[in-house]
């Protein structure tokens, strides 16, 4: 673990009190907030049991709350049973049957709505289709889809019959898809002919075919949703059109009641090794976090239109698109395409047309749209907005202020939500009717979330603004249960220190004099590129898999828009290109990484050297490489370098 992110940085003093008009009708006000904190402090498990009883519909009520006897493997509500799809759909049919559950807009402008009744019918039909193809409770199903309602239908249908889904982001390559299929031992892939994004077709079926051709022995069937309607080959006996699969199915599919701890889904995310890990979430604990934060943090109400722009391929798209808003009985907005099609006003035009009231996106998107100018948002009526949110990476105060003034017109609270794939739902975040915000800070932990910043020995850091490890000191219902198939890696990754008592988030943070949390960056070798997690090792493994590459080291450097950019140092087999630059091989390697992982992992810079700088024990001097990539002064001892000339090569000077 490196300490490069544990130095305290910038101090931001502006503070924005909750808007009184918002406070007047907020679900959680100071009084409720204090009561929740008090209850969580006095009776932690009682607090969670109460939330779980009030917010979830149980088939068999639980008696047991937290079981920590096999720590760090925790269970919650384990003797209860329920069904997640029932909680998201059926239970609303009494009063919300004709309410819109989903408002969808395609990149080309096609709009489709589904009421709760229609969505329940579609989910049930598709769930019956899955059963007809032999899918049973506990089977893994990979979903590789565009951002269309069928993606949510597929996820909900799996949940309905107890199948465990693993959604793979449509921007990942066939190689990444194959790895995830094989790691999970999935029986089926649900995909589409293609999706529309950035004015082009994303070739999802072609990528699926390629993944399966490389060897996925566990896959029996592929269901293909028709979206783009371009010509694609269908393999007889394996591939079935979605519309054919549901043609004979009826809309009655009783939910399969599963135990609270039954895995709802796997979602692969990057860590510090070359291969992503399958984060395994539970049914009840996960859903509780999802519904509770949709109500508390997003203040979701009957009349809201909630638009979270995340793709369902990420955790944010699980918790704030596919599950949370539906479990809370809300209306969600879903968009298929890119934010700049046909121009940078697309999001704001959609806010106006669909009267979006809650908008949740990533700092990268805010920065990119900010750069394109105020004239785009200023063209549209954004008065329907009442709450804004950000997630995925630290937001710089400048982007925060732009979001606040130009989009929120200074009256919308901004919730900067810190959380992770592993935590399942928001953890440290303002509550819009309670917490005064400071641009760049995710503020304070939610009631029931024992977040803290500790030193090397696990002691709370009490000196304001001193950096340390971000930890969660008590188990919480929505946390990951394990890494699929690898309990040992789960324990060693998340509970490696502090006597195995605290969940180690992998971020460094500091608390200011008001106790507000400021996230400072990762302490492991994970990059945050445009709010997406990528392991440096993952990109390195992809690079060294190229026949021309002998060695590679990857570090991050700050980027104005993406937050972090990928900087790769490469040693080629054979001679180093003259002057360390070669456009052709650079392009070849970038495309290669795109094929191995996905476009988001393509290095922004590649620099060629004869060697990588190593310590005497043979470890790559990453701090040195980071200093160089960031144009900083070199703080490492370089006197032991075998070949001092490589310093100039690494710096791009010779």
Residue 562 binds ligand WTA (CB under 6 A): no
Give the residue from 427, 422, 348, 339 showing the smallest Cα distance to 391: 427
Q: Between residues 194 and 289, which has the closer beta carbon with respect to ligand WTA?
A: 289
Told to check if 364 binds ligand WTA by CB under 6 A, we report: no
Binding part of the chain for ligand WTA, among 136-144, 248-256, 403-411, 413-421 by CB under 6 A, reads 413-421
Which of 442, 451, 571, 600 is the binder for ligand WTA (CB under 6 A)?
A: 442
Nearest residue to 518 (alpha-carbon basis) of 464, 584, 592: 464
* x-marked contacts with ligand WTA along 295-334 as a string, rule CB under 6 A: --------------------xx------------------
Nearer to ligand WTA, 196 or 443 (CB): 443
* Closest approach of ligand WTA to the CB of residue 162, in Å: 25
CA angle 158/164/168 to nearest 5° reads: 90
Contact with ligand WTA (CB under 6 A) among 419, 476, 490, 502? 419
The DSSP symbol for 48 reads: H
CB of 431 to ligand WTA, least distance (A): 15
Q: Order of strands, edge to edge, in the sheet holding 277-281?
A: 239-241, 221-225, 188-192, 140-144, 164-167, 265-269, 277-281, 482-483
Question: Of the two residues 367 and 533, which places its CB atom closer to ligand WTA in the complex?
Answer: 533
Residue 503 · residue 496 · CB < 8 Å: no
- Report the C-alpha gap between 27 and 430 in whole angstroms: 13
| 522 near ligand WTA (CB under 6 A) | yes
Residue keyed to tokens 């722009």: 309
Say if residue 342 is preceded by a cis peptide, omega within 30 of 0.
yes
d(CA 241, CA 262): 29
Q: Which is closer to ligand WTA, CB of 147 or CB of 442?
A: 442
Contact 163, 209 (CB under 8 A): no
Structure tokens at 372: 């394109």
- Does position 607 interact with ligand WTA (CB under 6 A)? The reply is no
Q: How far apart are CA 115 and CA 261, in angstroms?
A: 30
Quick check: 435 binds ligand WTA (CB under 6 A)? no
Cα Rg, the chain, nearest whole Å = 24
**Interacting residues with ligand WTA between 488 and 507 (CB under 6 A):** 505-507
In what helix (H) or strand (E) does residue 155 lie, and over which residues does it extend? helix 149-161
Positions 366 through 395 that interact with ligand WTA (CB under 6 A): 391-394
Task: By CB under 6 A, name the one of 309, 528, 530, 596 that touches ligand WTA.
Answer: 528
Q: Give min distance, CB of 428 to ligand WTA, in A.
A: 8
- CA–CA–CA angle 357, 360, 366 (5° rounding): 115
Q: Which is nearer to ligand WTA, 81 or 528 (CB)?
A: 528
Comparing CA positions, the residue from 47, 119, 25 lying closest to residue 474 is: 47
* Cβ-Cβ contacts under 8 Å for 111 (sequence gap 6 or more): 103, 104, 105
CB of 646 to ligand WTA, least distance (A): 31
Specify the stretch interacting with ligand WTA by CB under 6 A; choose among 64-72, 257-265, 416-424, 576-584: 416-424
420 touches ligand WTA (CB under 6 A): yes
The single residue listed with the structure tokens 């997003």 is 298
In eight-state DSSP terms, residue 98 is T
**269 near ligand WTA, judged by CB under 6 A:** yes
Q: How far apart are the C-alpha atoms of 224 and 191, rounded to whole Å?
A: 5
Shortest Cβ 389–ligand WTA spacing (Å): 9
498 CB-contact burial (10 Å; exposed 0-12 / middle 13-18 / buried 19+): middle
Strands 100-105 and 239-241: unpaired
**Which is closer to ligand WTA, CB of 419 or CB of 484?**
419
Shortest Å, Cβ 502 to ligand WTA: 15
Q: Which is nearer to ligand WTA, 359 or 419 (CB)?
A: 419
Smallest distance, Å, CB 419 to ligand WTA?
A: 5
> CB of 595: closest distance to ligand WTA in angstroms?
22
CB 105 within 8 A of CB 534: no
Q: Does 418 bind ligand WTA (CB under 6 A)?
A: yes
Tell which residue, 388, 364, 380, 407, has the closest CA to residue 306. 388
Closest C-alpha to 370, from 342, 336, 396, 338: 396
Binding mask 48-77 for ligand WTA (x = CB under 6 A): ------------------------------
Q: Which residue's Cβ lies closest to ligand WTA? A: 421
Of 17-25, 69-77, 250-258, 412-420, the segment contacting ligand WTA by CB under 6 A is 412-420
Find the part of the chain contacting ligand WTA (CB under 6 A) among 41-49, 258-266, 338-346, 415-423: 415-423
Of 143 and 344, which CB lies nearer to ligand WTA in the complex structure? 143
533 binds ligand WTA per the rule CB under 6 A = yes
**Which residues are near ligand WTA by CB under 6 A?**
269, 315-316, 391-394, 416-421, 442, 505-507, 519, 522, 528, 533
């Amino acid at each position: 673990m490196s300490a490069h992110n544990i130095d305290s940085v910038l101090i931001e003093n502006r503070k924005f009190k909750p808007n009184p008009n918002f406070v007047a009708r907020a679900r959680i006000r100071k009084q409720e907030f204090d009561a929740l904190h008090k209850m969580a402090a006095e009776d932690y498990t009682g607090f969670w049991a109460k939330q779980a009883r009030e917010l979830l519909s149980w088939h068999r009520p639980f008696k047991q709350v937290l079981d920590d006897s096999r720590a760090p493997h925790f269970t919650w509500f384990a003797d209860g049973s329920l069904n997640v799809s029932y909680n998201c759909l059926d239970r609303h049919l009494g009063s919300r049957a004709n309410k819109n559950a989903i408002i969808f807009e395609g990149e080309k402008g096609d709009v489709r709505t589904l009421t709760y009744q229609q969505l329940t019918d579609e989910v049930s039909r598709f769930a019956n289709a899955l059963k007809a193809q032999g899918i049973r409770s506990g089977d893994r199903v990979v979903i590789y889809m565009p951002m269309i309602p069928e993606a949510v239908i597929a996820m909900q249908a799996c949940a309905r019959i107890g199948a465990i889904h693993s959604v793979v982001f449509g921007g990942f390559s066939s190689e990444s898809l194959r790895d995830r299929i094989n790691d999970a031992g999935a029986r089926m892939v649900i995909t589409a002919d293609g999706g529309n994004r950035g004015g082009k077709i994303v070739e999802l079926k072609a990528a699926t075919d390629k993944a399966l051709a490389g060897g996925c022995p566990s896959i029996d069937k592929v269901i293909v949703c028709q979206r783009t309607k371009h010509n694609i080959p269908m393999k007889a006996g394996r591939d079935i059109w979605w519309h054919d699969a549901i043609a004979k199915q009826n809309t009655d599919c009783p939910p399969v009641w599963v135990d609270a701890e039954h895995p709802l889904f796997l979602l692969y995310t990057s860590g510090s090794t070359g291969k992503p890990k399958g984060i395994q979430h539970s049914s009840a604990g996960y859903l509780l976090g999802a519904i509770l934060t949709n109500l508390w943090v997003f203040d979701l109400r009957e009349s809201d239109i909630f638009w979270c722009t995340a793709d369902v391929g990420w955790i944010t798209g699980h918790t704030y698109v596919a599950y949370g808003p539906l479990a809370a009985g809300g209306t969600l907005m879903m968009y298929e395409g890119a934010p700049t099609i046909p121009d940078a006003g697309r999001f704001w035009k959609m806010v106006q047309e669909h009267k979006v009231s809650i908008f949740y996106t990533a700092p990268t998107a805010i920065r990119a749209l900010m750069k394109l100018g105020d004239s785009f948002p200023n063209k549209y009526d954004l008065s329907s907005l009442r709450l804004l949110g950000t997630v995925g990476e630290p937001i710089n105060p400048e982007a925060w202020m732009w979001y606040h003034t130009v989009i929120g017109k200074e009256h919308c609270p901004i919730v900067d939500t810190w959380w992770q794939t592993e935590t399942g739902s928001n953890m440290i975040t303002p509550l819009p009717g309670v917490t005064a915000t400071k641009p760049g800070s995710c503020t304070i932990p939610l009631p029931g979330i024992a977040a803290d910043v500790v030193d090397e020995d696990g002691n709370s850091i009490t000196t304001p603004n001193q950096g340390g490890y971000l930890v969660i000191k008590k188990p919480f219902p929505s946390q990951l249960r394990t890494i699929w198939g690898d309990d040992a890696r789960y324990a060693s990754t998340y509970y490696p220190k502090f006597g195995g008592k605290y969940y180690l988030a992998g971020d460094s943070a500091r608390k200011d004099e008001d106790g507000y949390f400021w996230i400072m960056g990762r302490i492991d070798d994970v990059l945050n590129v445009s709010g997406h997690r990528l392991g440096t090792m993952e990109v390195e493994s992809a690079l060294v898999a190229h026949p021309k590459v002998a060695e590679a080291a990857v570090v991050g450097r700050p980027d104005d828009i993406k937050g972090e950019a990928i900087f790769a140092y490469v040693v080629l087999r054979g001679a180093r290109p003259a002057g360390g630059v070669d456009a052709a091989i650079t392009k070849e390697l970038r495309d290669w990484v795109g094929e191995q992982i996905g476009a988001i992992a393509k290095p922004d810079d590649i620099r060629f050297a004869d060697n990588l700088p190593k310590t005497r024990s043979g470890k790559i001097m990453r701090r040195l490489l980071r200093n160089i990539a960031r144009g900083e002064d070199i703080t490492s001892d370089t006197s032991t370098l075998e070949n001092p000339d490589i310093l100039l090569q690494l710096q791009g000077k010779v």
